[in-house]
Amino acid sequence: MPEGAVFDVRRAEPPAYDWQEVATVDPGVGRYVDASVQDGSVYRYEIRVRVAATPAGAETPGAAGTGLEPPTAAAAPAAMGAAVVSDPVASHDNWFRAARANSLVATVLFTVIILSSIAYARSGKNIFIRRIAGLNAVDEAIGRATELGKKVFYIPGSQSMDDIQTVASIAILGHVARATARYGTDLDVPNKDPLTFVSAREAVRSAYLSEGRPDLFREEMVNYVTYDQFAYTAAVSARMVREKPAAIFLIGYFFAESLILAETGQSTGAIQIAGQADPTQLPFFVATCDYTLIGEELYAAGAYLTREPVLLGSMRGQDIAKAILILIGISGIIAVSLGVQGIPEMLLTR
């Protein structure tokens, strides 16, 4: 290919079938996706090489700095290569996105591993789950609040129910609410997101019902504060300072408000248990809270606290999948080091 050559992609559209510029593509690019077509319409495509005109006196690239006198080049006009025209084509939506076949295989495999681990757990086999200090401390924290006659604060993060961390947090809230119902401890759940507020209220109400203490449930236990991040933080911080809870749970997806809430909670002397899967705010929780659930420990909480075989089984399945990924990673490192590019290509998804 001559220096400076590019490919012009043109398209002829119905009904006039005049050629129109679509894109200019650099050499070496093997694929161009034209996303502006209409399904069902018949188009023709043309690709041709174009070399831009060069003015007289242009330096030969690379000559500068060599100490040699750069040759003075003559002017060259723009040049066009022969056009390659496609047959008439029409796009239509496919039933399957072939570029994501590897992702589908991985998803199906992962699901099969999870489901078979659940079946394994249901058959009565004992499944080991390592000690997670933060989850062991949940009952201890609620017990402390009961002894002191103070509240338990539960802050379910700042995201909505479409975030899986919030779903996990509400599941843990159910467990905490059952414990507070059992011990008669006061619970306060301030919410930032309206959907989370609705789910949290239902989770707490059901928890109190299932413990046989519907009389202890009050609507104001689970309350909505505001949607704004820092207004919510200010309100909850002020509530912590005024009411001095004995135990604070900060479990869910937090952003910049995490340190303000955790540090304020620390100043009140409460025992604090935090948990977030995203690593961004974890350093602040580690520095200010008594216990922190890191990463997937948040998702393991349901299995850990309830010891339900089904949930334990899915933890086992998750670990098996992780082991497979580690093996693939190691194989990939070895393969790439030996010059074999197959594994990274196989794992690439568009």
Partner 1 sequence: MAGFFDRMLTLDRRWIFLFVFLSVAIPIIIPIGLPVTTTGSTRSAFEFIEALQEGDIVWISFDYGPSSAPENDPMAEAIMRQCALKKLRFVVDVLYPLGGLQLANNAIGKIAEEFPKLRYGVDYVNLGYKDGAAAVMRRLGEDIAGAFPTDVNGTPLAQIPMMQGLKSLRQVKLVFTAATGLIGEWWITQVHSQIGIPVIIGPTAVSAPKYYAFLNSGQLVGMLGGMKGAAEYEKLLRGRYPQMAKFYKTTRDFTATKGMDAQTVLHTIILMFILLGNYAYFRQRAKAARA
Partner 2 sequence: MNFDFGRVALVLLFAIVPIGGIILGIRAPALRSRIPIMVGFLAGLVPIVSLYVPKNFISGPTGMSPRLDQWLIILAGFALLLGIVNVLQTSIRKITRREAGWPFAVVLLAGLFSTGSFGIHGAISGQGIGFLPDGSPTPFKYMADWFFLPLQSTIFSLLAFFMASAAFRAFRARNTEATILLVAAGLIMAGRVPLLELFALPFPGLQPAAAGASQFLGRTTEWIMDTPNGAAQSGIIIGAALGAASMAIRVILGIERGYLGLGKGE
Count the neighbouring beta carbons within 10 Å of the beta carbon of residue 180. Answer: 27
Nearer to partner 2, 73 or 326 (CB): 326
Which of partner 1, partner 2, none does residue 234 bind (CB under 5 to 8 Å by kind)?
Answer: partner 2
What is d(CA 45, CA 87) in angstroms, rounded to the nearest whole number? 8
Among positions 92, 131, 242, 350, the unique one binding partner 1 when judged by CB under 8 A: 350
Under rule CB under 8 A, residue 291 binds partner 2: no
What is d(CA 3, CA 59) in angstroms, rounded to the nearest whole number? 13
Under rule CB under 8 A, residue 280 binds partner 1: yes
Among positions 43, 291, 299, 304, the unique one binding partner 2 when judged by CB under 8 A: 299
What is d(CA 311, CA 309) in angstroms, rounded to the nearest whole number? 6
Q: What angle do CA 277, 300, 157 make, to 5 degrees?
A: 40
Segment 28 to 47, residues that bind partner 1, using CB under 8 A = 33, 35-36
Segment 82 to 111, residues that bind partner 2, using CB under 8 A = 93-97, 100, 103-104, 107, 110-111
CB of 113 to partner 1, least distance (A): 23
Under rule CB under 8 A, residue 59 binds partner 2: no
Which of partner 2, partner 1, none does residue 255 bind (CB under 5 to 8 Å by kind)?
Answer: partner 1
CB of 28 to partner 2, least distance (A): 27
Count the neighbouring beta carbons within 10 Å of the beta carbon of residue 244. Answer: 15
Under rule CB under 8 A, residue 317 binds partner 2: yes
Under rule CB under 8 A, residue 136 binds partner 1: no
Among positions 230, 286, 322, 346, the unique one binding partner 1 when judged by CB under 8 A: 230
Under rule CB under 8 A, residue 224 binds partner 2: yes
Which of partner 2, partner 1, none does residue 51 bind (CB under 5 to 8 Å by kind)?
Answer: none
Among positions 238, 255, 286, 295, the unique one binding partner 1 when judged by CB under 8 A: 255
Segment 18 to 57, residues that bind partner 2, using CB under 8 A = 39
Size of the site for partner 1 (CB under 8 A): 17
Between helix 309-337 and helix 101-122 the angle, nearest 10°, is 140
Backbone torsion region of residue 27, taken as left when φ is above 0, otherwise alpha when ψ lies between -120 and 50, otherwise beta: beta
Among positions 72, 86, 210, 349, the unique one binding partner 1 when judged by CB under 8 A: 349
Amino acid at 81: G
For residue 105, give Cα distances in angstroms to 96, 117, 208, 331, 347. Answer: 13, 18, 42, 19, 11
Under rule CB under 8 A, residue 229 binds partner 1: yes
CB of 123 to partner 2, least distance (A): 16
Contact 22, 11 (CB under 8 A): yes
Give the residue among 177, 180, 179, 154 at the shortest CA–CA distance from 166.
Answer: 154
For residue 341, give Cα distances in angstroms to 106, 277, 335, 344, 345. Answer: 19, 32, 7, 6, 6
Q: For the chain, how far is it from start to end, CA to CA, in angstroms? A: 29
Q: Which residues lie near partner 1 (CB under 8 A)?
A: 21, 23, 33, 35-36, 228-230, 255-256, 267, 278-281, 349-350
